[in-house]
Structure 1
Amino acid sequence: MSDYKAFKEASVTGLTGSTVTHVNIISSVALASIVLHSTLQTRVYRDHAIPFFVSWMALLLPLLFSMTLFANNPGLLAFILLLPTALILLRTTAPDNVNMPQPASGKGPASPHSTPSYAQSRFAVEVKPPSLTPLPAITTYRAHMMLMTVLGILAVDFPVFPRALAKCESYGVSLMDLGVGSFVFSSGVVSAIPLLRDPAHLKAPLLPKVTVVVRKTLPIIAIGVIRVLLVKGTDYPEHETEYGVHWNFFISLALLPVLQTLLHPLLRAVPASLLGVGVGILQQLSLSVFGLKEYVRSAPRLNLISANKEGIVSLAGYLSIHLLGLSIGTLILPPSPNFFRRLLTGRSTPAELGASRQNDKGAIELASYAIVWWALLAVASLLRVDEGVSRQTANLPYALWIAAFNTSYILGYLVLDMLFFPTPAVRRKKSRQSTDDISASASPARAPLLLEAINKNALPVFLLANVLTGLVNLSMQTMYASAGVSMGVLSLYTFVVSGVAWRLRGVRVWRL
């Protein structure tokens, strides 16, 4: 092993992370950037699209600076972003109505009830599904989650990225640990879409559904296998205690939809939130009572299973996170929080998915769940469940932390949408089908076009980021780079990744 490879692997070994508060403050910069961008859209550009370069400056650079130069003082960065925002708000007047610009896809303006970019699924649907009213907050949330992950996988290779934000060895919280779990939570949120479009999907025979899901996830498994071959073939620095010798995050991500499908019979009778917590408790019992924690810590790597013990053992914990994301998806994606419950009992139909969204009720529901998850995390900490949060085993405290954080930030994005792009007044009317039928025009809000572009082709963006990360690491010794060189390379990296997404915004290359 070369001295540099050993040094680089040592730089991500034995880390214990930061604090939940520190990670939350760093992540709050993402909310501040949306406040700035929304202010520019409503007060400066108004009916015109914000140019790519301005969006890159307002949306991507703040995220990069929050985890590098301002990592130890993210509150100052948030203040720097909000100061010009306040000046613009004070010097301009709010327009009566802002017609949000549409992406230049060559297809003309999108219908208010057209299927949003996040409203896609790995599940095959034989007939044209009902449309969901777009929810810009979810697009913004998923794009920011992707960006934090994309930035982190290369930034961690430079000394300008604090070691406290890199993945923890066994226990602890960090920004990169948050990114992995958020990716899984996000996939759970959008996995609610096929269930909303066709509630009978839960009752369909398991074998055909599992076959369809496996076929859909084969490309992701193939990517995971290719990654293993490339890492081994190029002697690329790796950290085996993260997932194991051959396992990686792509493999975990591909298996989760299969496991969720196997649980469909239970989802018909048990709320996804309770099922998610139940799986998390079983995961914790297997770790603390049945010895899996010691197995991960000390078992020798003698065969294929023990060689990948971290990835295999953590899979149940990630399933818990995926199910908790699913529960939020069933609350926030349909027009009202109780829509899915009414759908399962036959009091609503998928045809009502296009109704105007009740964002106020959705915000209240999200706030309630966020309080519950943060409270349960506090209880787990007070009771000293396990030895703390562990991304390595995806234990119960880790699942609760991921659920609490992501639910809170979806709420934050939704509230900002409601403040900057308020929904027109609605008029309720009685209906034979439903007492909650609403007659109103759709909200003019939409996510920033750059974030829509990133979300629309999330998987190609993620793959491009992985390729560029490998190329950068093979072409230079990143751990010896100065702060100036580090920020130059990272800034160019963000510009290329987001620029490619911007160029692809009119097409969907590959669904995630």
Structure 2
Amino acid sequence: MGRDDKNAKEAFVSGLTGSSIGDINTVSLVLPLSVLLWSVLQSRMRVFSPYTLPAALIDFLINCAAPLFATTAYADALWPFNLFLLLPTVFLFLTSRPLSLGPIPSRPPAVHTSMKQTALDPLPVKPFITHYRGSMIIITSIAILAIDFRVFPRRFGKVENWGTSLMDIGVGSFVFTSGVVSVRSFLKTEAGRHPPLLKRLLSSLRHSLPLLILGMVRLVSVKGLNYAEHVTEYGVHWNFFFTLGFLPPFVALFQSAFDIMPSYAVLACVLGAAYEIALDATSLTDYIVTAPRSSLISMNREGICSFFGYLAIFLAGQSVGSFVLPRQQPLRKGATIREIMKQSILAKIAISAMIWSVLFWFSTSFYGLRLGVSRRLANLPYFLWVAAYNTTQIGACCAIETLCFPNLHKAPTKEEEIQRSREATSSVLFAFNRNGLAVFLLANLLTGLVNLTVPTLQTGVLQSMAILVGYIAIVTGVALGLDRLNVTIKL
């Protein structure tokens, strides 16, 4: 890539004004609508059982092609596009009867059957979490390449300093989703007890090392290939893999605070508020936005300082994961509203989403703190926006699962519950969720390859869409292939 092309690409992706929260919510609506369409097809018609090649193609069209076209070719006709997904879904739901998920094939009873083989898992696999995380990884993978083409609207690209956009929420959502599932290991410990600090740090470092290595590989490759990059995103040397890599050890340190403050949500809010006070009460904001890049720290000040905001987002994700991952206790007939609010996971998600949304409104409202959202700073409004957005998305996926698969977790044995959960989960979304970080790394590598071989700014609509469809098809094929081979790459 020549210097003129690099400068043109940097100018193309910088200085964007972003889009409104409503516009972002409208384009994001395609994710739960795709999940709803898939769930109705499976619960009413068993389209994806068995999982044949035509079923895989339909799965790809619903969960990959739909988000791709919603953010590119149909970005200016989002409501008709969403209706295109919704209307056939409603028709099928109203005109067909649900088919129960079939039990697993009967097997001869073993001579020695342990309770572990039949007892229900206290932390069962939740298809709605898989659908939520898989959808988020897919749309993030789409956006990182689509942003380089003119078919991708500029309002969806990351803003410079203050504002909101689809890609701004995508970065925070990736961190939030990691927080949701990371709390599983803590919930598995006896009575939720924390291991000793040294043991937690050593364990976290094992998770961090591969991410930090990936960060170094990305740094060397970007600098060595003279690849176009936007310095104000994270800094001169910092990148998103470094942010992900430093999260585990800091989370391990913050877990010691649970002896004083036993709530992920409160801890996240305290950290977010403290960071916002530092931004507003000191010259930290001016330093991040305008300071000269004269030292290693100042060169990477965006990545270093915004890390505290992303840490708060990660903790907020853990707060949601702490009550959505455990098994829901069965509700008795005639349960009171108080009992429903206390036991229903969907009710807890709805309350959590409402609280995060109110806090976000207060932080940005004329009658509140009047703060601006800044992904570059990862400030308090950005943290609250990410928490509110993702909790709402999780709630939508949970509501869809409750509607389409109401008997999912009523299986008599663990083995049958696993079978039911697998049948109620999109194979494409399952595959993306299973190897999420590895697939995201592949998407980054393919993005670099396309940019080095294709003049993305000069390609027309048809050529751009052909490249993007081929790109997401390759990523999906690799994800499905790894899943079929039963390979899990943990990074």
Mapping 1:236-275, distance limit 5 Å? 236-270=227-261, 271-275=263-267
Any idea what the Cα deviations from partners look like across 1:367-387, whole Å, max 9, x if unmatched? 001011111111111256464
> Residue 50 of structure 2 aligns with which residue?
48
Any idea what the Cα deviations from partners look like across 1:448-482, whole Å, max 9, x if unmatched? 11111111111221111011101100001101111
Task: Work out whether 1:478 is the aligned partner of 2:456.
Answer: yes
> Residue 348 of structure 1 aligns with which residue?
none
Task: Work out whether 1:59 is the aligned partner of 2:63.
Answer: yes
Secondary structure in structure 1 of the residue aligned to 2:73: coil
**CA 1:61–1:426 in structure 2 vs 1: closer, same or farther (change >3 Å)?**
closer
* AA in 1 matched with 2:158: K
Mapping 1:347-426, distance limit 5 Å? 361-383=344-366, 385=369, 387-423=371-407
- State which drifts further: 35-44 or 391-400: 35-44
The whole-number CA distance in structure 2 between the counterparts of 1:200 and 1:209 is 17
**CA 1:359–1:79 in structure 2 vs 1: closer, same or farther (change >3 Å)?**
farther
1:100 Cα deviation from its structure 2 partner: 8.5
* AA in 2 matched with 1:88: L
* AA in 2 matched with 1:372: I
**CA 1:376–1:359 in structure 2 vs 1: closer, same or farther (change >3 Å)?**
closer
1:14 Cα deviation from its structure 2 partner: 1.3
Mapping 1:387-466, distance limit 5 Å? 387-423=371-407, 442=417, 444-445=420-421, 446-466=424-444
> Residue 336 of structure 2 aligns with which residue?
none
* AA in 1 matched with 2:260: A
Mapping 1:68-467, distance limit 5 Å? 68-95=72-99, 97-99=100-102, 132-199=123-190, 202-270=193-261, 271-336=263-328, 361-383=344-366, 385=369, 387-423=371-407, 442=417, 444-445=420-421, 446-467=424-445
Secondary structure in structure 1 of the residue aligned to 2:29: helix
Any idea what the Cα deviations from partners look like across 1:83-115, whole Å, max 9, x if unmatched? 2223333443332x123999xxxxxxxxxx99x
TM-score, length-scaled by structure 1: 0.84
> Residue 26 of structure 1 aligns with which residue?
27
Secondary structure in structure 2 of the residue aligned to 1:11: helix
Any idea what the Cα deviations from partners look like across 1:362-412, whole Å, max 9, x if unmatched? 000110010111111111112564641111010000000000000011010
Asked whether the equivalents of residues 331 and 337 of structure 1 are also in contact (C-alpha less than 8 Å), the reply is no
Asked whether the equivalents of residues 424 and 441 of structure 1 are also in contact (C-alpha less than 8 Å), the reply is no
Asked whether the equivalents of residues 214 and 258 of structure 1 are also in contact (C-alpha less than 8 Å), the reply is yes
Bigger relative contact order, structure 1 or 2, given CA contacts below 8 A and separation 6+?
A: 2
Any idea what the Cα deviations from partners look like across 1:243-301, whole Å, max 9, x if unmatched? 00000000001111111100111123311100000000011011111221000111111
TM-score, length-scaled by structure 2: 0.88
**CA 1:439–1:305 in structure 2 vs 1: closer, same or farther (change >3 Å)?**
closer
* AA in 1 matched with 2:318: L
Asked whether the equivalents of residues 288 and 386 of structure 1 are also in contact (C-alpha less than 8 Å), the reply is no
Any idea what the Cα deviations from partners look like across 1:27-61, whole Å, max 9, x if unmatched? 11111111211122122335433621111111111
Secondary structure in structure 2 of the residue aligned to 1:422: coil
> Residue 433 of structure 1 aligns with which residue?
none
- State which drifts further: 8-17 or 180-189: 8-17
1:489 to 454, 467, 475: 467
1:336 Cα deviation from its structure 2 partner: 3.7
The whole-number CA distance in structure 2 between the counterparts of 1:60 and 1:395 is 31
Any idea what the Cα deviations from partners look like across 1:297-347, whole Å, max 9, x if unmatched? 111111110000000010100011011001001010011499xxxxxxxxx
Structure 1 unaligned residues grouped into runs of 5+: 103-112, 115-129, 339-357, 428-437
Q: CA RMSD in A?
A: 2.6
The whole-number CA distance in structure 2 between the counterparts of 1:476 and 1:291 is 43
* AA in 2 matched with 1:222: I
> Residue 347 of structure 1 aligns with which residue?
none
1:148 Cα deviation from its structure 2 partner: 1.1
The whole-number CA distance in structure 2 between the counterparts of 1:388 and 1:221 is 31
1:71 Cα deviation from its structure 2 partner: 1.6
Identity %: 38
> Residue 432 of structure 1 aligns with which residue?
none
The whole-number CA distance in structure 2 between the counterparts of 1:31 and 1:248 is 30
> Residue 354 of structure 1 aligns with which residue?
none
1:423 Cα deviation from its structure 2 partner: 2.0
Asked whether the equivalents of residues 38 and 59 of structure 2 are also in contact (C-alpha less than 8 Å), the reply is yes
Asked whether the equivalents of residues 385 and 397 of structure 1 are also in contact (C-alpha less than 8 Å), the reply is no
- State which drifts further: 201-210 or 298-307: 201-210
**CA 1:478–1:90 in structure 2 vs 1: closer, same or farther (change >3 Å)?**
same
Secondary structure in structure 2 of the residue aligned to 1:508: coil
The whole-number CA distance in structure 2 between the counterparts of 1:236 and 1:278 is 38
**CA 1:16–1:387 in structure 2 vs 1: closer, same or farther (change >3 Å)?**
farther
> Residue 37 of structure 1 aligns with which residue?
38
Q: Specify which structure has the higher proportion of helix.
A: 2
**CA 1:359–1:501 in structure 2 vs 1: closer, same or farther (change >3 Å)?**
farther
Asked whether the equivalents of residues 363 and 371 of structure 2 are also in contact (C-alpha less than 8 Å), the reply is no
**CA 1:419–1:398 in structure 2 vs 1: closer, same or farther (change >3 Å)?**
same
Secondary structure in structure 2 of the residue aligned to 1:319: helix
**CA 1:273–1:236 in structure 2 vs 1: closer, same or farther (change >3 Å)?**
same
The whole-number CA distance in structure 2 between the counterparts of 1:172 and 1:8 is 21
The whole-number CA distance in structure 1 between the counterparts of 2:66 and 2:103 is 23
Asked whether the equivalents of residues 72 and 152 of structure 2 are also in contact (C-alpha less than 8 Å), the reply is yes
* AA in 2 matched with 1:160: V
Number of equivalent positions: 458
1:425 Cα deviation from its structure 2 partner: 9.2
Secondary structure in structure 2 of the residue aligned to 1:214: helix
The whole-number CA distance in structure 2 between the counterparts of 1:186 and 1:425 is 23
**CA 1:229–1:101 in structure 2 vs 1: closer, same or farther (change >3 Å)?**
farther
The whole-number CA distance in structure 1 between the counterparts of 2:33 and 2:237 is 39
1:69 Cα deviation from its structure 2 partner: 1.4
> Residue 6 of structure 1 aligns with which residue?
7
